[in-house]
Amino acid sequence: MTAAARASVAPTAATVSRLPDGRWRALEIAFWLLPVAAFFVLPDYRVLGSQILIAGLFAVSLDLILGYAGIVSLGHAAFFGIGAYAAGLLAKNGFNEPISGLLVAAAVAALAGYLVSFLVVRGSDLTRLMVTLGIGLMAWEAANKAAFVTGGVDGLSFTAGKLLGTWGFDLGGRTAFLYALAVVFVVLLIVRRLVSSPFGLSLRGIREGGKRMPAIGAPVGKRLRTIFTVAAAVAGIAGALLAQTTQFVGIDSLGFPRSAELLIMLVLGGTGRLYGGFVGAAVFMIAQDYLSGIDPVYWEFWIGFFLVVIVLFARGGVLGGLDSLRERLVSRQ
């Protein structure tokens, strides 16, 4: 076959119909090799590493509602905290097998998310901001007042059971890191399938054309309630992971600052891109670790500075910025 004939047979951009197909891309595989490599190369950073993975998963859960469906939230930490307390209280009361604890935490957070979703689906962005903010404040105060159960501001310490009955959670963070990585990976497998599915497409449809969706027969409220419930479950898993790997639940796990930090991480990394949450969490927490080492008081200044720069000059966060950089390079060739 001549080169010309081959070119005419090979599918080109003009003949291929592009739809989300959920295929693994090289960059994605490279992304997952990073934490594996970090485990061996940076053994001293396993604790930080597992916290980045957990924060990343938490940010992904916000991305599902904010980045994909376009629902803003200032109270997403409520579900993170509910998951954390569910896992913590379960372990504290004698049921400390981690994996089943994680599943129970996911279910409890999902139930909470489902109930709240009815309030969030209604109204405009501002209403949603206020409703989610209010729910977050109520969750914090409820945990504070119920100190006899939650430990209040002192927090809740407990002993996590051995993972699969074999590996205990050690101070070096070995088990914690591998457990977090495995759970985060499995949840991401589900989430990445979800976002490339017709359901995921309908969420993007709601974000892009909320007014058109009912006119093509889409039950918008039902879709939003579903994704809000799923996002709450994922947030609950992230919260439970943090609780189990640190064997502690602090009341800050459902506080407003955590919701705000979460939003910063996601926007830093890039919304609606699945991996933006992880990138943002890594940038945020490594910067926090590094900058607060230099000057513990002023690190938030720099995070704030980067946030402003990213939002103004690199729309779509770090990943969005990289995307447009790549497009510029390709078009120049």
Partner 1 sequence: MTPALRTQSLSKEWGSFKANNDVTLAFAPGARHALIGPNGAGKTTFINLLTGALLPTAGEVFLGDENITALPQDARVKRGMTRTFQINTLFPGLTVLESVVLAICEREGRAGVWHRTVAQQRAAADEAGALLESLHLTAERNATTRSLAYGKQRLIEIALALATRPRILLLDEPAAGIPAGESAELFGVIAALPREVTIVFIEHDMDLVFRFAERITVLVAGRVLIEGTPAEIAADKRVKEVYLGEAERG
Site of interaction with partner 1 (CB under 8 A): 13-14, 16-22, 193-194, 196-202, 204-205, 207-209, 211-220, 223, 226
Please state the closest distance from residue 202 (CB atom) to partner 1, in A.
Answer: 4
Q: Which residues pair with 111 in a beta bridge?
A: none
Q: Which residues pair with 156 in a beta bridge?
A: 249
Please state the closest distance from residue 283 (CB atom) to partner 1, in A.
Answer: 25
CB within 8 Å of 78: residues ≥ 6 apart: 112, 116, 132, 135, 136, 139, 140, 254, 259
DSSP string, 276-303: HHHHHHHHHHHHHHHHHHH-TTTHHHHH
| Greatest pairwise CA separation for the chain in angstroms | 79
Please state the closest distance from residue 194 (CB atom) to partner 1, in A.
Answer: 5
Q: In this structure, is the dihedral angle defined by the CA atoms of residues 51, 120, 155 and 92, taken in order, positive or negative?
A: negative
Please state the closest distance from residue 224 (CB atom) to partner 1, in A.
Answer: 12
Q: Given the complex with partner 1, which of 56 and 205 has the nearer CB atom?
A: 205
Single-letter code of the amino acid located at 116: V
Please state the closest distance from residue 111 (CB atom) to partner 1, in A.
Answer: 19
- Determine contact, residues 235/55, Cβ cutoff 8 Å: no
Q: Given the complex with partner 1, which of 111 and 220 has the nearer CB atom?
A: 220
Q: Given the complex with partner 1, which of 125 and 208 has the nearer CB atom?
A: 208
Q: Given the complex with partner 1, which of 18 and 328 has the nearer CB atom?
A: 18
Q: Given the complex with partner 1, which of 237 and 282 has the nearer CB atom?
A: 237
Tokens representing residue 181 in the block: 């990585």
